[in-house]
Amino acid sequence: MRLTAGRCFKQWTGDDSKALMKVYIAAIEGFVPAEIVRTLRALLEFCYLVRRHIISEKVLQEIEDALAQFHKYRQVFMSGNNPVVTTFSLPCQHAAKHYSSLIRLWGAPNGLCSSITECKHIKAVKEPWRRSSKFNALGQMLRTNQRLDKIAAAGVDFESRKMLNESCLSSAINMLARTIASESDNDQNNTGLDLPQQTASILGDNEHPVPDDAVGLLIQVKLSRTPQRRRAHTLPALAAELGVANLVTLTRCFLFDQYHPDDDHDPTEIPLSDCPYYEGRINVYNSACARFFAPSNLSGLGGMQKEFI
């Protein structure tokens, strides 16, 4: 329904109607005759009852009572010196008479509404129209719908052949694993630490490669190829350079978490003497690339997301 002189509305949608139903009775109370309020109250009661997911015989009786009250009080629109209408021959109001018998035959409508065709209209007409050049658009719209139908049919065929059982995450993991496996390991021997394998791995260019069967990998942080040469190469020197006095302590706590991933103790309760101490050489990298599995609007439901730090 289009409103030419409405209240800032260019087009009245189904959501607007549902929102109005919640406040309509309170909005018109006192401004219209009581019979009109009773008519609309009976109609809203009927609408809410037939939307229920479960409808029993008691609810069916309430539906019939609400419809009977609506038919009784709607006569106010035909009475008086200036009747609003001369007949109630409206398809939607006529269809309301058949709801009870159809529910007994076929079950609850479960929220089904005649506006469902509007959703199909959006998919079949409005969206193809927006994708067209707007010139002789009918042929372009038909071609768009045909291609969408073929894509949907191909998806069903691929699903039946079990070609869509996995997302693109597996292929991305295998590609990353092959890339990392082809790089050399130069700094691992200097660390002297063999961290346990985690599901979420943090790997640099010169660290241990991920095995080909690491299908549980959910995140990878890849450091830049070249470290900064004029930065500190030990933890105490880096702590002084950054002005973080407890950097060594934080690093030892981090290493303890990596060695004991199943430890349930609070980190503040663990004695610092139980945490490993690292005295090897470190490198500082100014940038990193993080690849992780994150279903979102950007990466899709089964895609990988890439962020540069």
Structure tokens, 153: 């049919």
pLDDT, tens digit, 9 for 90 and up, residues 40-82: 999 999 988 988 888 999 999 999 999 999 999 988 888 877 7
- In order, the DSSP letters of 243-269 are T-TTHHHHHHHHHHHHH-TT--S-GGG
Q: For 303-307, which contacts have Cβ atoms below 8 Å and span 24 or more sequence positions?
A: 303/167, 303/168, 303/169, 304/168, 304/169, 304/172
pLDDT, tens digit, 9 for 90 and up, residues 105-136: 988 887 676 666 667 788 888 899 999 999 98
The predicted structure's pLDDT at residue 86: 79
Q: Is 123 helix (H, G, I), strand (E, B) or coil?
A: helix
Amino acid symbol at 31: F
> What's the CA dihedral at 55, 57, 61, 66 to 10 degrees?
0
Structure tokens, 10: 């260019």
The predicted structure's pLDDT at residue 116: 67
The predicted structure's pLDDT at residue 196: 47
Residues of the chain with pLDDT under 70: 1-14, 111, 113-118, 165-172, 183-218, 293-306
The predicted structure's pLDDT at residue 204: 43
- CA–CA gap between residue 255 and residue 145 (Å, rounded): 57
Q: Which of 228, 204, 218 is nearest to 289 (CA)?
A: 204
Bridge-partner residues for 223, per DSSP? 288
